[in-house]
């Protein structure tokens, strides 16, 4: 390219004045095309700018034609051809000479300038000028592009910074954590609303004031030292609780973190403070309660006991210093009873991991003096000083457990006593009573040796002493003698005679020690049978090894001793009663016999008189004899019953078949006169007609006689007495019913007792001894049958039923 001269140089100079003055690409392009227009007057011109990313040429400016929509052609294509295809060339542009000049910078294509010259033949000069202009345009375009890139970058950086700052501000301003920046003198250069609020002061008032002015005086020195330390070591940071002083003089408890930071290129201290006043107060309140409550409390955290209250220390018997800060496992091993340790650990682990609240757990613990006590723990997970922890509360339940055990022991004791007493009281005689009692107490007290002996006054027939657990009969015999001999002493006993170890027997008893030794007795427990003032004998148990007799054991044996005495009294009463009964039976027997002999004689003569064997009778005499005979019969009936009652005990039932119909007929016939005299109709009925039963005809007749006799006797107003019999499965049921005075329901069972009579008031007394029905009952029992009575009540009649085996 040749140098520019003359007008061209001037034109180029004007280009440098017109173009490259702004940082606006569009304006520059416009200015450039304007300059081109005035400098060379082309027919047409266009500027394409390269878009390297798209590898296309962008049409940016047109000279001498209206603007067109943005358009581009791929790089490397011929722009003229593309312009024609796009129909962008105006008709006048088709005539002049065309040429294209690249716009480059340092070999990089920035664009292409297309020109249709205004002259017929474009001179070399014109092309030189255009090329120089294009060369000038290159750097201009590049600089603008560079500037724009830079500007965009700058803009984006600036906006990021302001955004971050805004975010930081809004965070710090809104957080509940107090934040402040202190300068080297410890004065506020920044403070957020939370901290200002904490200090009860407006933000502007805080600025430039020393932070220490808002700290309680006691803590100022320590804090100042801390600041210095943090300054000296930029890596340092510290955290501590602090009492801040509000403007109004109140104190605020805060957890404060201090850290060196650089702010606006100067070293500062960043202070962050959390208000923990509520927590501190809550803890204070908690501790105030915990220090005074009788409930034991511990807090465990990270396997350490971080808190224990005085009640806990007092209960377990260790000083607080020995509990506080101890490892949980070490401590549990120290105070929980070995049997319960593993479970206690498991309980704690469970609490820590599962965190179940208020689970109850009972365990034994050992005090330093070795005493074992019971406690119940309630565990729950809590947060303590900001971290998870386990709170255990304890109550000592030893008294409760002991009381429960005592009740249990008492119940067992009563049960044993009841068992011994009821079993022994069933004994039929003194010997049996003593034997059962001794066996039972030995078992209950787990004693290998035992015995009982009665004083001679109690058992005149000499009930021999009962001795168990001695080696052989010879030894037993000898022991019996020794005990009999010592019995005299028991009259003086006030309480039980307790020897835990015969080798250390008290002096009064030492004379028996050799015997004890001989029989291998090392410990013994003896109580009087009966009350101390009225001893009936002695009851004892013994052991072959020393033994400390328990209070319960002594009480049990004493109670048994008293109960045995009562049983003895009872047995003696029964014996007396049996003797009396025996005597009475014998008397009845004798009297009956004595009465029967003369009665037989009387009846004999009366019958002779009646037969007129002793001479004829007047009607009046006959009447009199008849009355006498009838009463003699009645007396005979009574005496026979009495005698039969005595004999019945040894009576053997003579089983024979009885045809009920025939038997009833006989009975009706036998009773017809008496029934007639009483104005009573006697009826009978048997179904089926051939009904038969098994039994002792003589006894059953006596039974029926009694039932019929009663039926007539208790039917004062006449009426009907009905005998019935029928089959009921393999039994025959007999019923004797009347329409008489009836029986009150509450007496129905008792009338079968011997000598029992229903009391009916003075006006309605009936003769009788109350033995008829008891006789019936005995007869029925001998037949393995059943007898019972039914009555709807007084005046409603009565029915007596008898169930006997049928003859199949
Ligand atoms: P007793 O010899 O006195 O008749 P029993 O043993 O035969 O004695 O009867 C006992 C009691 O049963 C009688 O005193 C009477 O009160 C009552 N008793 C028995 N049979 C009848 C009956 N058929 N009607 C009402 N009471 C009766």
Q: What is the pLDDT of residues 435-484, one digit of tens each?
A: 999 998 998 889 999 999 888 777 666 788 889 988 888 888 888 888 77
Q: How many angstroms separate the alpha carbon of residue 597 from the centre of ligand 1?
A: 28
Q: How many angstroms separate the alpha carbon of residue 793 from the centre of ligand 1?
A: 14
Are 364 and 340 in contact by the 8 Å Cβ rule? The answer is yes
pLDDT at 65: 57
Q: Report which ligand 1 atom has the smallest distance to the Cα of 738.
A: 23
Upstream peptide bond of 688 is cis (omega within 30 degrees of 0): yes
Q: Please indicate whether residue 751, judged by its CB atom, sits closer than 6 Å to ligand 1.
A: yes
Residue 599 DSSP code: H
Pocket test for ligand 1, best of 739, 767, 768, 802 (most atoms within 8 A of CB): 768
- Distance, first Cα to last Cα, the chain: 162
pLDDT at 763: 44
Measured at the CA of 304, the angle between CA 302 and CA 310, to 5 degrees, comes to 135
Q: Please indicate whether residue 778, judged by its CB atom, sits closer than 6 Å to ligand 1.
A: no
Per-chain mean pLDDT for the chain: 86
Pocket test for ligand 1, best of 641, 770, 778, 788 (most atoms within 8 A of CB): 770
Name residue, tokens 């027939």: 461
Q: Report which ligand 1 atom has the smallest distance to the Cα of 770.
A: 8
The residue whose C-alpha atom lies closest to atom 11 belonging to ligand 1 is 757
Q: Given the DSSP bridges, would you call strands 296-301 and 387-396 parallel, antiparallel or unpaired?
A: antiparallel
pLDDT at 522: 92
What is d(CA 423, CA 420) in angstroms, rounded to the nearest whole number? 5
The residue whose C-alpha atom lies closest to atom 21 belonging to ligand 1 is 710
Q: Please indicate whether residue 757, judged by its CB atom, sits closer than 6 Å to ligand 1.
A: yes
The residue whose C-alpha atom lies closest to atom 14 belonging to ligand 1 is 757
Pocket test for ligand 1, best of 639, 706, 714 (most atoms within 8 A of CB): 714
**Bridge partners of residue 168, in order along the sequence:** none
Question: 181 CB contacts (<8 Å, ≥6 apart)?
Answer: 188, 189, 190, 191, 261, 263, 268, 269, 270, 271
Q: What is the pLDDT of residues 657-695, one digit of tens each?
A: 999 999 999 999 999 988 998 899 999 999 999 999 999
Q: How many angstroms separate the alpha carbon of residue 144 from the centre of ligand 1?
A: 148
Low-confidence ranges of the chain (pLDDT < 70): 1-2, 63-69, 122, 234, 355-359, 459-461, 488-494, 532, 761-765, 808
Give the Cβ contact number of residue 294 at 10 Å. 11
Q: Please indicate whether residue 645, judged by its CB atom, sits closer than 6 Å to ligand 1.
A: no
Q: Please indicate whether residue 758, judged by its CB atom, sits closer than 6 Å to ligand 1.
A: yes
Q: Please indicate whether residue 37, judged by its CB atom, sits closer than 6 Å to ligand 1.
A: no
Q: How many angstroms separate the alpha carbon of residue 734 from the centre of ligand 1?
A: 18
> What sign for the dihedral angle of Cα 662, 666, 671, 675?
positive
Are 660 and 725 in contact by the 8 Å Cβ rule? The answer is yes
pLDDT at 214: 94
Q: Please indicate whether residue 747, judged by its CB atom, sits closer than 6 Å to ligand 1.
A: no
Q: Which of 740, 744, 737, 738 is nearest to 717 (CA)?
A: 740
Q: Please indicate whether residue 768, judged by its CB atom, sits closer than 6 Å to ligand 1.
A: yes
**Cα distances (Å, whole numbers) of residue 618 to 579, 614, 621, 628:** 53, 13, 5, 15
pLDDT at 517: 85
Q: How many angstroms separate the alpha carbon of residue 771 from the centre of ligand 1?
A: 9
């Amino acid at each position: 390219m040749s140098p520019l001269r003359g007008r061209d140089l001037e034109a180029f100079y004007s280009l440098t004045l017109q173009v490259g003055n702004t940082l606006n690409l569009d304006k520059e392009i416009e200015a450039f095309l304007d300059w081109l227009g005035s400098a060379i007057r082309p027919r047409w011109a266009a500027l394409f700018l390269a878009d390297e990313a798209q590898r296309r040429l962008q049409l940016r400016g047109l000279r001498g034609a209206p603007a067109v929509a943005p358009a581009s052609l791929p790089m490397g294509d011929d722009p003229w051809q593309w312009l024609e295809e796009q129909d962008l060339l105006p008709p006048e542009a088709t005539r002049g000479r065309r040429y294209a000049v690249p716009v480059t910078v340092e070999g990089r294509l920035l664009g292409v300038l297309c020109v249709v010259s205004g002259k017929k033949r474009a001179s070399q000069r014109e092309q030189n000028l255009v090329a120089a202009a294009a060369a000038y345009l290159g750097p201009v375009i590049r600089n603008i592009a560079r500037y724009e890139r830079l500007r965009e970058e700058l803009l984006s950086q600036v906006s990021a910074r302001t955004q971050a700052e805004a975010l930081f501000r809004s965070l710090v301003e809104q957080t509940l954590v107090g934040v402040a920046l202190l300068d080297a003198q410890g004065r506020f250069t920044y403070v957020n609303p939370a901290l200002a609020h904490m200090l009860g002061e407006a933000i502007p008032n805080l600025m430039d004031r020393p932070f220490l002015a808002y700290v309680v005086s006691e803590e100022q020195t320590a804090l100042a030292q801390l600041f210095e330390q943090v300054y000296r070591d930029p890596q340092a940071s510290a955290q501590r609780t602090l009492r801040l002083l509000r403007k109004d003089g109140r104190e605020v408890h805060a957890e404060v973190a201090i850290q060196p930071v650089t702010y606006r290129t100067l070293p500062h201290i960043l202070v962050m403070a959390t208000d923990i006043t509520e927590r501190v107060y809550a803890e204070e309140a908690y501790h105030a309660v915990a220090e005074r409550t009788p409930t034991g409390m511990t807090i465990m955290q990270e396997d350490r006991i971080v808190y224990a209250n005085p009640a806990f220390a007092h209960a377990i018997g260790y000083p607080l210093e020995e509990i506080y800060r101890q490892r949980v496992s070490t401590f549990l091993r120290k105070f929980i009873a070995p049997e319960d340790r593993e479970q206690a650990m498991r309980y704690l682990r469970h609490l820590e991991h599962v965190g179940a609240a208020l689970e109850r757990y009972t365990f034994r613990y050992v005090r330093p003096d070795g005493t074992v006590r019971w406690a119940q723990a309630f565990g729950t997970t809590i947060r303590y000083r900001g971290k998870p922890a386990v709170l255990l509360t304890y109550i000592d339940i030893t008294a409760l457990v002991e009381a429960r055990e005592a009740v249990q022991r008492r119940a067992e004791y009563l049960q044993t006593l009841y068992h011994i007493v009821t079993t022994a009281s069933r004994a039929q005689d003194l010997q049996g009573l003593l034997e059962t009692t001794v066996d039972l107490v030995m078992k209950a007290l787990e004693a290998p040796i035992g015995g009982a002996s009665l004083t001679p006054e109690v058992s005149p027939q000499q009930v021999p002493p009962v001795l168990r657990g001695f080696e052989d009969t010879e030894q037993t015999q000898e022991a019996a003698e020794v005990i009999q001999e010592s019995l005299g002493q028991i009259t003086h006993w006030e309480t039980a005679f307790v020897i835990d170890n015969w080798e250390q027997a008290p002096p009064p008893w030492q004379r028996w020690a050799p015997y004890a030794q001989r029989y291998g007795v090392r410990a013994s427990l003896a109580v009087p049978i009966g009350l101390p003032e009225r001893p009936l004998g002695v009851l004892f148990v013994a052991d072959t090894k020393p033994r400390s007799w328990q209070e319960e054991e002594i009480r049990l044996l004493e109670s048994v001793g008293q109960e045995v005495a009562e049983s003895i009294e009872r047995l003696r009463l029964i014996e007396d009663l049996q003797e009396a009964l025996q005597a009475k039976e014998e008397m009845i027997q004798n009297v009956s016999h004595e009465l029967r002999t003369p009665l037989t004689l009387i009846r004999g003569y009366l019958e002779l008189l009646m037969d007129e064997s002793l001479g004829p009778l007047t009607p009046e005499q006959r009447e009199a004899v008849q009355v006498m005979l009838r009463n003699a019969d009645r007396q005979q009936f009574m005496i026979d019953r009495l005698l039969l009652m005595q004999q019945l005990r040894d009576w053997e039932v003579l089983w024979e078949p009885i045809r009920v119909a025939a038997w009833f007929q006989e009975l009706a016939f036998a009773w017809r006169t008496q029934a007639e005299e009483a104005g009573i109709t006697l009826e009978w009925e048997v179904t089926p007609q051939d009904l038969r039963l098994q039994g002792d005809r003589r006894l059953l007749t006596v039974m029926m006689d009694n039932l019929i006799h009663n039926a007539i006797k208790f039917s004062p107003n006449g009426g009907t007495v009905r005998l019935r019999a029928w089959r009921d499965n393999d039994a025959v049921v007999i019923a004797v019913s009347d329409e008489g005075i009836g029986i009150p329901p509450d007496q129905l069972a008792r009338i079968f007792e011997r000598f029992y009579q229903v009391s009916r008031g003075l006006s309605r007394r009936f003769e009788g001894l109350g033995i008829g029905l008891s006789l019936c009952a005995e007869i029925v029992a001998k037949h393995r049958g059943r007898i019972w009575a039914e009555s709807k009540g007084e005046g409603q009649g009565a029915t007596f039923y008898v169930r006997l085996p049928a003859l199949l």
